Amino acid sequence: MTTNEALDIIFDFIPTKILRRLKKQGLYQPILDQEANTSAKLYDYLTPVQLKLQEINYSKLAPTLIPLLNKGATLEIGCGSGDLLKRLALARFRPLYGLDRQPWLLQRAKDKLKSYKKINFYHSRLEDFDWQKLPLLKNVILNNFWELLNKDTCRNFLENLKICLDDKSLVVIGPYQNQRRTAKRIEAQRLLRTELNFTFQYPFYKKFAASGYLAKIVILNYQPYFILRRKTPFN
């Protein structure tokens, strides 16, 4: 197995035609050059065209997610181009906050939501964000990138976030892929770590109780998600 073949295996969640276009545009190059050593870091090297091809449509997830949320202040971490935020705005959630590390995606989100009031955007990595900027949040949503964070980042985030939560606030994290990995995928990830020092994903951090949270699993759009609440002395 070559490194390019290993990359094809771990990026096989991208539709074939789109992946082929992304590869022609240099998707793998920062990894092959050992400049991006994680999937999260790879986002810093993606061009606007590459990012646009990966935009997420929340038309299926949103109808199952939104009824579970508290009305009020809601933060989406990794908000991308703002598709979910727009659906939340249409459902009259206010105020809304979007956090993303990619300025180009944030600009697309701002353009998409410019006619809505009480929406704020922050350009920052999760690891660097100042949580004191935010008020009390009723909901926090992290979709599709929890496994890109190592356990220390996850623990620090869950600890720092507490200043924005009360005992009724909800934190939605997922989806949780609990299936066994194939031998081919395991070998591909091992090869990339050995040859290129590249980690595609980390084990899904779910020691939420140790971080001071109550957790339950719900099914959203046929996939399991964790919903967390901060523990209080009364729980």
Would you list the DSSP string of 95-124? SEEEEES-HHHHHHHHHHTTTSSSEEEEE-
**Structural domain range at position 90:** 62-177+202-230
Instruction: Give the per-residue pLDDT at 3.
Output: 95
The residue among 117, 121, 101, 118 whose CA lies nearest residue 109 is: 121
* Residue 104 domain-assigned (yes or no): yes
pLDDT digits (tens, 9 = 90+) for 196-227: 999 998 999 999 999 999 999 999 999 999 99
* Residue 108 domain-assigned (yes or no): yes
CATH number of the structural domain spanning residue 119: 3.40.50.150
* Residue 157 domain-assigned (yes or no): yes
pLDDT digits (tens, 9 = 90+) for 179-193: 567 889 899 999 999
* Residue 173 domain-assigned (yes or no): yes
Instruction: Give the per-residue pLDDT at 54.
Output: 65
* Residue 206 domain-assigned (yes or no): yes
Q: Read off the tokens for 165.
A: 């939560």
Phi (first) and psi of residue 51, to 5 degrees: -65, -40
**pTM to 2 decimals?**
0.89
β strands within the chain, DSSP E = 74-77, 96-100, 119-123, 139-143, 170-174, 213-220, 223-230
Domain total of the chain: 1
**What residue type is assigned to position 36 of the chain?**
A
**What residue type is assigned to position 23 of the chain?**
K
* Residue 8 domain-assigned (yes or no): no
